[in-house]
Chain A
Amino acid sequence: EDKVVQSPLSLVVHEGDTVTLNCSYEVTNFRSLLWYKQEKKAPTFLFMLTSSGIEKKSGRLSSILDKKELFSILNITATQTGDSAVYLCAVEDNYGQNFVFGPGTRLSVLP
């Protein structure tokens, strides 16, 4: 059965801290892994990862995929209160299930 596990489920840090969010997966026919940030109504797309070892970077956020070990990490450096959100990891599969979403990591950044 396809599944995505995220850890930690919740995290409280102070502004300026660096955080690493983890996503591990088991899926039948991997196509891509996606990270989203959810603050309000709809999750905002952050990254799509398809190849191992290639880091994707956007400002203070970066992410990398390890297809051999079946996991991805999302790093946020110099966190700000605006980074407070639920971060969702989802795996897209080529066959059967289209998406499998993880439970999310709820990040709270305190001033």
Chain B
Amino acid sequence: NAGVTQTPKFRVLKTGQSMTLLCAQDMNHEYMYWYRQDPGMGLRLIHYSVGEGTTAKGEVPDGYNVSRLKKQNFLLGLESAAPSQTSVYFCASMGQAYYYEQYFGPGTRLTVT
């Protein structure tokens, strides 16, 4: 049981390049989330999904797209990377525990030059 995994762990992009971050969970969770973490700003929600085939915007969705074609995977895409997207990205998933615990992946550190 690997929990929540993220690939890649690190990436450097040039401005204007595109990439996809993959999040996978093996806990059969319905809910999945993408956050970004920036110094002094905590975690901010980018997009989330309440089930397979669904996606919704979070607090800071601009410049990102997501897809949830399979229940276990949640993809975050950057179509045209900008330096402002330099951040650490975390994926999380949540099942049916009554206290709504979110399980986090180890993070992807992205630098856009």
The answer to whether A and B come from one shared complex is no
